[in-house]
Amino acid sequence: MADFSPIELMICAASEMLDDGAMVVVGTGAPCAAAMLAQKTSAPNLTLMFEAGGVGPLLPRMPISVGDSRTFYQGLMATSMADVMETCQRGLVDYTFLGGAQIDMYGNLNSTLIGDNYEQPKVRFPGSGGANDLGSLCWRVLVITPHDRRRFNERLDFITTPGYLDGPGARERAGLPPGSGPYKVITNMAVMGFDEESKRMQVESLHPGVTFSEVQENTGFELLVRAPLETTAAPDEAMLRILREEVDPHRYILGRG
Would you list the DSSP string of 172-227?
HHTTPPTT-EEEEEE-SSEEEEE-TTT--EEEEEEPTT--HHHHHHT-SSPPEEEE
Query: Around 76, how many Cα atoms within 13 Å sit in the side-chain half-sphere?
Result: 10
Q: Are 193 and 105 in contact (CB under 8 A)?
A: no
30-40 and 6-15 helices, crossing angle to 10°: 50
Comparing CA positions, the residue from 30, 89, 22, 87 lying closest to residue 54 is 87
Helix, strand, coil in percent for the chain, rounding step 5 = 25, 20, 55
In this structure, what are the phi and psi dihedrals at residue 81, rounded to the nearest 5 degrees? -60, -40
Catalytic residue selected from 51, 172, 197, 222:
51
- Quick check: is 51 catalytic? yes
169 backbone φψ class: left, alpha, beta (φ>0; ψ -120 to 50): left
What is the C-alpha separation between 54 and 45, in angstroms, rounded?
16
CB 99 within 8 A of CB 144: yes
Cβ proximity of 36 and 226 under 8 Å: no
List C-alpha distances in Å: 240 to 26, 41, 68, 212.
Answer: 21, 11, 25, 26
CB 104 within 8 Å of CB 60? no
Instruction: Please identify every residue annotated as catalytic.
Output: 51
